[in-house]
Chains A and B, each alone.
Chain A
Amino acid sequence: KQEVTQIPAALSVPEGENLVLNCSFTDSAIYNLQWFRQDPGKGLTSLLLIQSSQREQTSGRLNASLDKSSGRSTLYIAASQPGDSATYLCAVITQGGSEKLVFGKGTKLTVNP
């Protein structure tokens, strides 16, 4: 059974700092990995999708990497801003999983002005 773990559970940084969020998964036979953002009381916003054959994806100040063999992914946020404050969720689709996402518990990020 696929399990996804995110470390740390919470992170507080000053504005402008670069930071890394970590995600690990137990079954390396994944179809893809997705990073989401969730604001309080809101749904999920898709940030980056990495296919199993890819090593990284970039969108603006965000860069996500994937090391499938070791079961790890990182989300790098450059020059953090207070507007980046949210919970960041990592989720994977296991091969043969019919698009079913398995989520980690998330990292709650606070960027202080």
Chain B
Amino acid sequence: SAVISQKPSRDICQRGTSLTIQCQVDSQVTMMFWYRQQPGQSLTLIATANQGSEATYESGFVIDKFPISRPNLTFSTLTVSNMSPEDSSIYLCSVVGDNQPQHFGDGTRLSIL
């Protein structure tokens, strides 16, 4: 199965700043997703990262707040913009390859002061 590297693993940020999270896969994958896990909650899909085009966002998530890039089949970034304490969560990248179940990175634990 694909090996996923997500960076940073954790960060503490100031209110109003932005942070970009990177997701690197060791092989080409069909689909890449970004999820959020708020404290005590389950995972919620933010968006599907589409190669070479705009990401597809789920209800309640917008591009201005969570811009996503996917320049190729092995790399994607998620930016959390203008952060507030409510954005404190674990952010996870996941990938789907040919005939493979969905696999997740180790996540980025983000705290906003």
Does A101 interact with chain B (Cβ within 8 Å)? yes
B42 and A106 form a contact (CB under 8 A) = yes
With A43-B92, A46-B101, A49-B101 known as contacts, the answer to whether A100 contacts B48 (CB < 8 A) is: yes
Per-residue interface assignment for chain A, residues 82 to 113, with 1 indicating a CB less than 8 Å from any chain B CB and 0 otherwise: 00000001010000001111111110000000
> 8 Å CB contacts to A: which residues of B6-47?
6, 31, 33, 35, 41-45
**Can you list 8 A-B pairs, Cβ within 8 angstroms, ordered by A?**
A34-B102, A44-B92, A46-B103, A98-B31, A99-B33, A99-B102, A101-B35, A105-B42
Query: How many chain B residues touch A (Cβ–Cβ < 8 Å)?
Result: 23
B101 and A44 form a contact (CB under 8 A) = no
Taking CB atoms, residues of chain B closer than 8 Å to A42 are 106-107
Query: How many chain A residues touch B (Cβ–Cβ < 8 Å)?
Result: 22
Does A60 interact with chain B (Cβ within 8 Å)? no
Does B96 interact with chain A (Cβ within 8 Å)? yes
